[in-house]
Structure 1
């Protein structure tokens, strides 16, 4: 982590805390509808801060910190959920960027220090954690099929699954596109096709007037007034991705972590392009959710539709990344009104946004759990307790979490369980119960 990269992270955290304080943009979808309540005088800042803290602290402590330790990359849950809280809780607008910058410094120093300590332990924890991301991309690619089943029923879901699996197996034979990319592409096409067909069949277009009313126009106009700040945020995020200190999602961070460790090799570039493709597809899938909440609240997403991540991974240098990131946010905001009107004509696509998000979470949860078990088995296999010894510790942590009301969310419990397994095995090694083989 060099000085320039550190400055980028500090500036990014300072700016996102400031735009959160000003009600321009936040990362957490659940906070976005609360901000107009404060702006229009129906909610106190302290109450808004309590909501932001309650919605985000669990994600920061689990997904944010857990994934950062597993990949040595910063992520949105660690940075932006915290700057959401810092921004809305700050009593003055000049305090927010100062506290946001300090949070960036803490993340940089804290994660680096912890990783340095874990790298030196007798039983290889950091190396084994590379197994966490083995199936994330493959599992994530299944989300459109789960969304189809939830929204349109088992019959259409099974038909869609058969079509998708056929393309997954056959597509790579006739193209350079990976099986995972085929799975996601065909699944998304089928999901959107079913949504549009359903609305045309039912002629369900009577919601458009609601999105075209005065409130809609006023709130889209408010987002456009904030464009300079939003564009700078987009530029900084793209640069952070480009300099290899930040990953935009759990779908890409594990591939990126492996790629960056390889250096500038053909294999690394292939992994980065795979990650970028998956990030692009993820961004396409999130447009209905982000656009709908933006046009109805007047509060944008910190990373927009998240295409800035994709640009940051692929741009040749930080200067180009900054320009492209800013331009992406500019285009997104300028066409936001048109996207809102389109979604008004196809309410099934808007309805699919919740199904998409929950399906993504379900698929990634499963993939991370399997990867975490693999990582624990690798750690156990290097000792006298064997792979089964590593498995039983992680499995017990997962089952205790389920039995006690899921204190830690499922997306985080796998990586946390794997990290805890590594720490426990190393502790047992120090006291002589576990030995290396």
Structure 2
């Protein structure tokens, strides 16, 4: 079943890109629209897609996939964007895109299993140490609403949000330790990070809804781009298919929508991963809704809520059905969502701040996690290598995105450590 799901996801996503219906890379949607409206050739579109997505697949998607042995959605869907847009949109090009996309998905899954077996045969198996890459992410994720509040409103309000979130977290720890909450004589354990996250999101939403719309600034995007909305609705069946498939794959813990929920899922914390995925989805709704309405090109994962239903569903079949229903409702409500965001500009603007806050948090957390993992593989040398790699990457103009420096650096340390062990220049850490 796992292989079938991944192959189908790869095939359908490649077809959606090939037919200019949906692409995963947010930055590609306006460019695909330029092509469909005749202002950009297919050749230029293909080269642009490759330039925008290939580096992210190699430097972002694959490293995270390897650290947790769970496929990060970026690994597969950024690749299918390239495959779909580089194959001609005609009667033979579309089937070819489906075949290559499916084979690419299968290759990711088989390659992942092969990598795990390969690590076990190395002189120094550094795969267990790679689990430390995501450890700081799980704990620090609760701070992102406070950072988003600071970006959008003020540092003072961000600080208040952070302090209250921290207090709520410690209260949850106190309640758990003293077993104050019980149900049928069984102690109920609160997730302290989850409680802090919910508290921060409440502060963010309250501040955002208080931000009033200025007189004469209302723009009904859904009305202006009614033909684009109609195009997306016309293809709703495609979105329902891939939405169900991705939700099912997420339920089976073979796929995750972001590095945070991926690391939680790798630790077996499905509920925590679902909460993290829901918080992330909130930040993506304004971006995906506005770009979809303006371009007529949707995202194969919709508002990313399909990951949430996949994680909270009791089994794979419920997840499959829930994914189909959720993405259908998203498409049908697209115009209404756009009008709501226009009514509350604070919420619309918060999307960008939420994403920026998450990116900043991930950059710091993954650098710390990568350094810890590297140092566990090669004590002393690991810290030196990660620090040097980060600084040299900055000096070179960041050829590797900041949040990937930690995971990529840890993998490189693992490779170097194995070479040193074989050469007799390093002993295996105990």
1:379 aligned residue (359, 374, 377): 377
Conserved? CA contact 2:140–2:365, under 8 Å: yes
1:16 aligned residue (13, 16, 19): 13
2:302 aligned residue (301, 304, 310): 304
Residue 187 (structure 1) aligned with residue 185 (structure 2): no
Conserved? CA contact 1:136–1:364, under 8 Å: yes
Partner Cα distance (2:350, 2:310) in 1: 28
Conserved? CA contact 2:210–2:346, under 8 Å: no
Q: Check 1:209–1:393 CA distance in 2 against 1; reply closer, same or farther (3 A cut).
A: closer
CA positional deviation for 1:302: 0.9
Residues 241-260 of structure 1: pairs in structure 2 closer than 5 A: 241-259=250-268
Residue 418 (structure 1) aligned with residue 419 (structure 2): no
1:54 aligned residue (48, 51, 55): 51
Partner Cα distance (2:340, 2:173) in 1: 33
Moved more, 163-172 or 403-412: 163-172
The TM-score normalised by the length of structure 1 is 0.90
Q: Check 1:160–1:244 CA distance in 2 against 1; reply closer, same or farther (3 A cut).
A: closer
Conserved? CA contact 1:393–1:421, under 8 Å: yes
Conserved? CA contact 1:207–1:345, under 8 Å: no
1:263 alignment counterpart: none
2:355 aligned residue (354, 357, 362): 357
Residue 233 (structure 1) aligned with residue 242 (structure 2): yes
1:146 alignment counterpart: 147
Residues 279-290 of structure 1: pairs in structure 2 closer than 5 A: 279-290=277-288
1:36 alignment counterpart: 33
CA positional deviation for 1:372: 1.1
CA positional deviation for 1:249: 1.1
Moved more, 387-396 or 83-92: 387-396
* 1:161-217 CA distance string (max 9 Å, x none): 222222222245456432211222122222222222122xxx4264433424332x2
Residues 4-403 of structure 1: pairs in structure 2 closer than 5 A: 4-91=1-88, 92-174=93-175, 176-199=189-212, 203-204=213-214, 206-215=216-225, 217-259=226-268, 271-380=269-378, 387-403=379-395
In structure 2, runs of 5+ residues without a counterpart are 176-180, 182-188
CA positional deviation for 1:147: 1.6
In structure 1, runs of 5+ residues without a counterpart are 260-270, 381-386
CA positional deviation for 1:371: 1.0
Q: Check 1:54–1:8 CA distance in 2 against 1; reply closer, same or farther (3 A cut).
A: same
Partner Cα distance (1:405, 1:36) in 2: 30
* 1:113-167 CA distance string (max 9 Å, x none): 2222122222230010111111112222222211221222222222222222222
1:267 alignment counterpart: none
Partner Cα distance (1:368, 1:278) in 2: 16
CA positional deviation for 1:297: 1.7
Partner Cα distance (1:289, 1:251) in 2: 20
Partner Cα distance (1:211, 1:13) in 2: 32
Residue 13 of structure 2 aligns to a residue in which SS? helix
Residue 27 of structure 1 aligns to a residue in which SS? coil
1:262 alignment counterpart: none
Partner Cα distance (1:114, 1:171) in 2: 39
Residue 20 of structure 2 aligns to a residue in which SS? coil
Conserved? CA contact 2:264–2:270, under 8 Å: yes
Conserved? CA contact 2:386–2:410, under 8 Å: yes
CA positional deviation for 1:431: 0.3
Partner Cα distance (2:424, 2:191) in 1: 46
Q: Check 1:235–1:209 CA distance in 2 against 1; reply closer, same or farther (3 A cut).
A: same
The TM-score normalised by the length of structure 2 is 0.91
Conserved? CA contact 1:292–1:350, under 8 Å: no
Partner Cα distance (2:224, 2:83) in 1: 32
Partner Cα distance (1:98, 1:212) in 2: 35
CA positional deviation for 1:347: 2.0
1:265 alignment counterpart: none
